[in-house]
Every structure is written in structure tokens, then in C-alpha cells.
Amino acid sequence: MDALAKDRTLIGNFGSDSEGLIKPTREEAMAAVRTLLAWAGDDPRREGLLDTPKRVVEAFGEWFQGYEQDPSVELSRTFEDVQGYDDMVMLRGIEVESHCEHHMAPFIGKAYVAYMPTNRVVGLSKLARVVEIYAKRLQTQETMTQQIVDAINESLDPAGVAVMIDAEHQCMSTRGVHHRHVSTITTRFSGQFKTNQALQDRFLALANPR
């Protein structure tokens, strides 16, 4: 049996594209954890590791629950009675807890999200939920920044959206170059935030992650 066949035996069958993916069973996922423990050089049968596969699978269920959630659903309930308000709506310091898709190492930081409403607004907690949904997936920070902007644009049709994420990546601090306390900042602007430099500068000044 070749390596690919062995992988399929362990984690289940995969189709030719993402739509054809068959999710492995809980036991298959736990078996994969035991394999990794043995590969790392430890004995998955020793007392301290007996329940580790179960704990890891449960942790994955929490860390990656965003795959089961739809940002458009969170943004679907809007309010049109805004009393003529047409200025920036901004949330600062939204907690970001995500995992790098390259090493599955955590990256943790803050997101700053703003939009310019047209004729409707959305509940403030829903913006935070959109950030959380995308964070609870394997990610790159650049992709997540774009996804948040796209989701708000598609659901609210605002005059503009601005997103900034400031995060520290453990794939950089605990491995590889081992540089701690280095943060990565990504930004994405659309609509008025992209064309109006004064508005963009105001957003960045209000974000003030330092």
C-alpha cells in the first residue's frame, strides 16, 4: 500500500475537490493524533497521553468551528431606522484567535472593523461574530482581512468598509526565526475608505493599536 492509500485508510476518503470531502470520523481523528504523538517520539499509550487524542479532537472542534458557520447569516438582520446617520460605525479591539494554515500554529491579536452605512445598519455584535467566524478556520491573516471586508460589503452594501488586524504569529515566535513580540498588521479598504484619504486616516487614528 502506497503512502496516499495509507493516508486515506487513516483519515477517510476525499473527493477530487473540496465539495467531495468526506469528514473523517471522530475515531479516525483521534487515531491521527495518536500517530502524531508517536511520530514526535512519545508513547501514546502512557498514562499521561491516554486521553490526549480526545482532548485534541475536542479542542479542534472549538478552534475550527467557523467552518460550520455562515457570516452572511449573522449579517442578515439589519435595521433601516438610522435617523439619517451616515458616518463611520467602528468596532475597536475585537479579539482574534486563529491558526496559521501553514503550520497550524496560533496567531492572536485584535481586529478593527468599520463601515459607512447607507440605508441600514447591523447589530454591533454581528460584526464581531463575522471576525470570529473567519478566525475559527485555518487562515492567513491577509486572507482573513479580505474575507471580513467582502462579507460586510456583500451583506450590507455600505458606502465603504475598513478592516485592520494586528496579530502575533506563533509560527514565527516559537519556531523558525524565533522572533517574539513581532506583530503583523494587515489592512483592507473599500469604497469611501479607499478613495477618501481623510476618512482612511481617521479610521487608522481611531484604531491606534499601540
**pLDDT tens digits for 36-47?**
999 999 999 999
The residue that leads in pLDDT, 54 or 20, is 54
Instruction: Point out the catalytic residue in the list 103, 168, 170, 192.
Output: 103
Of 14, 35, 63, which one is at a domain's C-terminal end? Answer: 63
154 is catalytic: no
CATH assignment of the domain containing 35? 1.10.286
Same domain, 96 and 174: yes
pLDDT for the residue numbered 19: 65
Percent of the chain with pLDDT strictly greater than 70: 90
Q: Is 99 a catalytic residue?
A: no
Tell which residue, 199, 186, 187, has the closest CA to residue 158: 199
How many domains does the chain fold into? 2
Domain span holding position 50: 3-63
Q: Which of 102, 142, 154, 179 is catalytic?
A: 102
The answer to whether position 70 is within a domain reads no
- The yes-or-no answer on residue 179 being catalytic is no
pLDDT in tens, 54-63: 999 999 999 9
Mean confidence (pLDDT) of the chain = 89
| Average pLDDT for 124-152 | 97
pLDDT at res. 65: 95
100 is an active site residue: yes
> Residues near 123 by Cβ (< 8 Å), separated by ≥ 6?
77, 79
At 189, the amino acid letter reads: F
User: Catalytic one among 28, 146, 170, 171?
Assistant: 171
Question: Model confidence over 66-116: pLDDT tens digits?
Answer: 999 999 999 999 998 777 788 999 999 999 999 999 999 999 999 999 999
Q: Is residue 68, in this structure, part of any structural domain at all? A: no
- Please state, in angstroms and rounded to a whole number, the distance separating the CA atoms of residues 63 and 57: 10
Q: Is it the case that residue 8 has pLDDT exceeding 70?
A: no
12 and 39 within one domain: yes
Query: How, if at all, do strands 138-139 and 121-122 pair?
Result: unpaired
CA 74/CA 195 separation, integer angstroms: 28
CATH number, domain of 109, equals 3.30.1130.10
